């Protein structure tokens, strides 16, 4: 739900943004304003989330505060549950929302224009249907004076966001799909509030430390979960995947442990006090933090066979925290000295040059992470302590240049994560008792914050490294008595058909008792030539039953989208609405035929 401010005489974009401590670029993007960014009296502006709490000054009243901020008194009264005569006290924290929770339709407006203006956009296209659905409008017809709630739309981005949430009653690992807004629960009672999902580079696996401090690996392509190891304490464990996605590395009990998830082989390198162990891009060298002989925190590199250990830093100060190697291996960042003061530094490994990031106003800078191209760092900077703390979602160059605030979260601090294309940053907000209940995203090239998830406790999040995540979901039909797996980003068209950007499937059954050779030939060479003029029939066995695959020829009509087919004889004929069926048939694009057919099971 967006909040809308009504422009008053004398207002400027800078003044409006300043009232709620917003980046003016965010205000411009939220309303798709174009140069010279002219606004007019009476215009409604969508206001992104900002610092909406003030500390009441002596002599202030609800009326004077409402006048200063340019919002109706009722907005402040409702937000703070004030009762008549609406007395407020000096020093009191008062919530001041930036406007009313609806847009008033103006003459000439259309749902399409409103959706485009206020970023109700999915995959780059205006999504007016979402506004119609949220407001329960019978049609797309609107009229001046109509009050519309303006929702947030799923952005349609690639990749998946893994997050830790208690949405199911206990903490577990979940996935959010930005393409369609769908949430999928990956684990059942295995997570903890401290669990952090760590993606493998190929986005096929997620590692995390969960219940009873056990290290788990989720195999997304197979839908399985494996127990790998156990720690004495799960909080603060950092995991890193090898560049080939085959091994995990982590520190445990004065050892650096390398675990191969395919062969289950374990290798240990003795190294006291090591933390933040991670792979260089070469895959044969590791970076880690550890104390030197005098007990001083230093950064080291070492070969994966335990040889050629080298000290990188000559630190004489405080401990290094949040050590993160850039994806290209050229730089490393860390924070120091600790929690109350946390300053980000970057080190150019080849030269030893050290750079300090300017950071937020309180020197409380947390959760720094590198962009996929190693050029930029995103982090959370705590600020506005006088009003109970908010934090700035900021980005900076690897030498501390171009340090910019991108968005505002009302949490003390929040983890942040980059999209696979490096254009967007996701973060947490809506904190109560220190725990967030929303996930947001901001596009650095069009910096309007978009809410992705609300209403569930969330403690961590990580966007997948790859834009295409080969995750599978189970399809099960009690009508056709089959079960199989299909790509998770495909969506339901009907009970029998699912489609995605890269393929589809549709199923049915065949009642004839003819031999399978005839059935396959008749399907392949149907008079309408759905598989082209020269399809290929491959006879095989599926689940120990007679089967055939039909592969299209080069001249297949393009509108068939590469349709192939799988026909399998039922182990036992099935009944559908009183009729007997002997064969199961699955139409599927040729790229996914083998992948789906290999998971087919008869119920």
Element holding 458 (H helix, E strand) = strand 446-463
Q: Which of 440, 463, 486 is the last residue of a domain?
A: 463
Three-state secondary-structure class, residue 358: coil
Is the CA virtual torsion 280, 283, 288, 293 positive or negative? negative
Residue 47 pLDDT greater than 80, yes or no: yes
**Phi-psi category of residue 215: left, alpha or beta, with phi > 0 → left and psi -120 to 50 → alpha:** beta
Q: Calculate the alpha carbon distances from 340 to 336, 381, 413, 448 in Å.
A: 10, 12, 12, 30
Summarize the confidence of residues 107-122 as an average pLDDT.
96
Q: Which of 118, 148, 178 is the last residue of a domain?
A: 148
Q: What confidence score (pLDDT) does residue 317 get?
A: 92
Residue 351 pLDDT greater than 70, yes or no: yes
Tokens 């580079």 correspond to what residue? 201
Tokens 């340090």 correspond to what residue? 403
Among 81-85, 182-186, 365-369, 401-405, the least confident range: 182-186
In a domain, 155, yes or no: no
Closest CA to 498 of 513, 476, 520, 515: 476
Query: Is 166 in the same domain as 300?
Result: yes
* Domain span including residue 538: 472-602
Residue 559 DSSP symbol: G
Q: Which of 148, 176, 210 is the last residue of a domain?
A: 148
Q: What confidence score (pLDDT) does residue 243 get?
A: 97
Query: Is 334 in the same domain as 436?
Result: yes
pLDDT digits (tens, 9 = 90+) for 259-299: 999 999 999 999 999 999 999 999 999 999 999 999 999 99
Q: What confidence score (pLDDT) does residue 433 get?
A: 83
Query: How much helix, strand and coil, in percent to the nearest 5, is found in the chain?
Result: 10, 40, 45
Work out the percent of the chain whose per-residue pLDDT is above 90.
91
In a domain, 416, yes or no: yes
Query: Is 81 in the same domain as 199?
Result: no
Residue 441 pLDDT greater than 80, yes or no: yes
Tokens 């490096």 correspond to what residue? 422
- Torsion angle defined by CA atoms of residues 132, 138, 140 and 146, in that order, rounded to the nearest 10 degrees: -70
pLDDT bracket for residue 179 (50, 70, 90)? confident
The chain-wide mean pLDDT, for the chain, equals 95
Q: d(Cα 262, Cα 245) in Å, to the nearest integer?
A: 10
pLDDT bracket for residue 339 (50, 70, 90)? confident
Q: What confidence score (pLDDT) does residue 428 get?
A: 98
Q: What is the CATH number of the domain that holds 98?
A: 3.10.350.10
Answer for the pair 29, 448: CB distance below 8 angstroms, yes or no: yes
Query: Is 455 in the same domain as 569?
Result: no
In a domain, 533, yes or no: yes
Query: Is 368 in the same domain as 343?
Result: yes
Q: What confidence score (pLDDT) does residue 595 get?
A: 85
Closest CA to 254 of 238, 236, 275: 275
Query: Is 505 in the same domain as 567?
Result: yes
Query: Is 306 in the same domain as 208?
Result: yes
Residue 472 pLDDT greater than 90, yes or no: no
Contacts of 176 (CB under 8 A, 6+ apart): 160, 161, 163, 182, 183, 439, 452, 453
pLDDT digits (tens, 9 = 90+) for 136-175: 999 999 999 999 999 999 998 889 999 999 998 899 999 9
Residue 542 pLDDT greater than 70, yes or no: yes
Among 244-253, 272-281, 312-321, 473-482, the least confident range: 473-482
Q: What confidence score (pLDDT) does residue 448 get?
A: 96
Q: What is the CATH number of the domain that holds 528?
A: 3.40.1000
Query: Is 455 in the same domain as 497?
Result: no
E-state strands within 481-562: 482-487, 491-494, 497-500, 503-510, 536-542, 545-551
Query: Is 28 in the same domain as 142?
Result: yes
Residue 471 pLDDT greater than 80, yes or no: no
Residue 25 pLDDT greater than 90, yes or no: yes
pLDDT digits (tens, 9 = 90+) for 182-199: 898 999 999 999 999 999
Residue 520: CB atoms within 10 A of its CB come to 24
Residue 224 pLDDT greater than 70, yes or no: yes
Three-state secondary-structure class, residue 278: strand
Backbone angles phi, psi at 342, to 5 degrees: -140, 105
Q: What is the CATH number of the domain that holds 383?
A: 2.120.10.30
Question: How many domains are contained in the chain?
Answer: 3
Number of H helices, E strands in the chain: 8, 45
pLDDT bracket for residue 80 (50, 70, 90)? very high
In a domain, 153, yes or no: no
Q: What confidence score (pLDDT) does residue 470 get?
A: 67
In a domain, 455, yes or no: yes
Answer for the pair 434, 412: CB distance below 8 angstroms, yes or no: yes
Query: Is 343 in the same domain as 440?
Result: yes
Summarize the confidence of residues 477-486 as an average pLDDT.
92
In a domain, 156, yes or no: no
Q: What confidence score (pLDDT) does residue 91 get?
A: 95
Q: d(Cα 182, Cα 489) in Å, to the nearest integer?
A: 9
Query: Is 103 in the same domain as 187?
Result: no
Residue 46 pLDDT greater than 90, yes or no: yes
Q: What confidence score (pLDDT) does residue 416 get?
A: 98
In a domain, 185, yes or no: yes
Query: Is 131 in the same domain as 247?
Result: no
In a domain, 484, yes or no: yes
Q: Calculate the alpha carbon distances from 246 to 207, 251, 266 in Å.
A: 12, 17, 12
Work out the percent of the chain whose per-residue pLDDT is above 70.
100
């Amino acid at each position: 739900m967006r909040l809308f401010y009504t422009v008053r005489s004398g207002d400027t974009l800078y003044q409006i943004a300043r009232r709620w401590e917003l980046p003016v670029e965010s205000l411009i993007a939220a309303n798709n304003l174009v140069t010279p960014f002219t606004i007019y009296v009476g215009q409604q502006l969508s206001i992104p989330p900002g610092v909406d709490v003030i500390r009441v000054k002596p002599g202030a009243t609800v009326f004077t505060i409402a006048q200063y901020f340019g919002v109706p008194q009722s907005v402040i009264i409702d937000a703070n549950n004030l009762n008549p005569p609406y007395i407020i006290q000096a020093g009191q924290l008062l919530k001041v929302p930036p406007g009313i929770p609806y847009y008033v339709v103006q003459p000439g407006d259309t749902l399409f224009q409103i959706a485009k203006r206020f970023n109700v956009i999915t995959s780059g296209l205006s999504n007016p249907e979402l506004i119609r659905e949220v407001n329960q409008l019978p049609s797309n017809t609107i009229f001046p004076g109509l009050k519309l709630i303006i929702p947030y739309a799923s952005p349609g981005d690639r990749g998946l966001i893994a997050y830790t949430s208690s949405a199911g009653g206990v903490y577990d690992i979940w996935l959010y799909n930005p393409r369609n807004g769908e949430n999928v629960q990956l684990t059942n009672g295995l997570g903890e509030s401290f669990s952090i999902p760590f993606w493998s580079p190929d986005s096929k696996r997620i590692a995390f430390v969960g219940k009873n401090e056990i290290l788990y690996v989720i195999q997304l392509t197979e839908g399985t979960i494996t127990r790998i190891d156990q720690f004495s304490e799960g909080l603060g464990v950092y995991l890193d995947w090898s560049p080939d996605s085959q091994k995990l590395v982590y520190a445990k009990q004065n050892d650096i442990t390398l675990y191969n998830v395919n062969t289950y082989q374990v290798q240990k390198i003795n190294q006291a006090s090591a933390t933040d162990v991670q792979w260089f891009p070469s895959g044969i060298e590791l970076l880690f933090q550890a104390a030197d002989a005098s007990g001083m925190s230093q950064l080291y590199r070492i070969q994966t066979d335990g040889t050629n250990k080298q000290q990188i830093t000559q630190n004489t100060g405080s401990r290094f925290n949040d050590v993160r190697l850039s994806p290209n291996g050229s730089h490393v960042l860390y924070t120091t000295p600790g929690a109350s003061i946390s300053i980000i530094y970057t080190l150019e490994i080849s030269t030893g040059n050290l750079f300090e990031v300017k950071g937020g106003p309180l020197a409380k800078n947390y959760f720094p992470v590198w962009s996929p191209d190693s050029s930029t760092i995103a982090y959370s900077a705590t600020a506005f302590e006088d009003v109970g703390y908010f934090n700035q979602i900021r980005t900076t160059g690897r030498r501390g240049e171009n340090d910019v605030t991108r968005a505002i979260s009302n949490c003390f601090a929040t983890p942040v994560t980059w999209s696979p294309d490096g254009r967007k940053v996701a973060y947490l907000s809506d904190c109560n008792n220190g725990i967030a209940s929303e996930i947001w995203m901001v596009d650095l090239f069009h910096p309007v914050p978009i809410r992705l998830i609300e209403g569930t406790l969330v403690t961590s999040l990580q966007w997948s490294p790859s834009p295409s995540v080969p995750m599978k979901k189970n399809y099960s039909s009690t009508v056709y008595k089959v079960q199989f797996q299909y790509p998770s980003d495909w969506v339901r068209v009907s009970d029998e058909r699912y489609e995605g950007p890269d393929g589809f499937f549709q199923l049915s059954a065949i009642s004839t008792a003819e031999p399978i050779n005839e059935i396959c030939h008749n399907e392949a060479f149907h008079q309408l030539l759905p598989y082209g003029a020269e399809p290929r029939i491959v006879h095989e066995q599926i689940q120990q039953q007679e089967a055939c695959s039909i592969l299209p020829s080069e001249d297949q009509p393009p509108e068939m989208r590469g349709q192939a087919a799988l026909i399998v004889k039922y182990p036992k004929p099935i009944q559908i609405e009183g009729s007997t069926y002997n064969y199961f048939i699955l139409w599927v694009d040729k790229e996914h035929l083998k992948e789906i057919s290999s998971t087919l099971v008869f119920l």
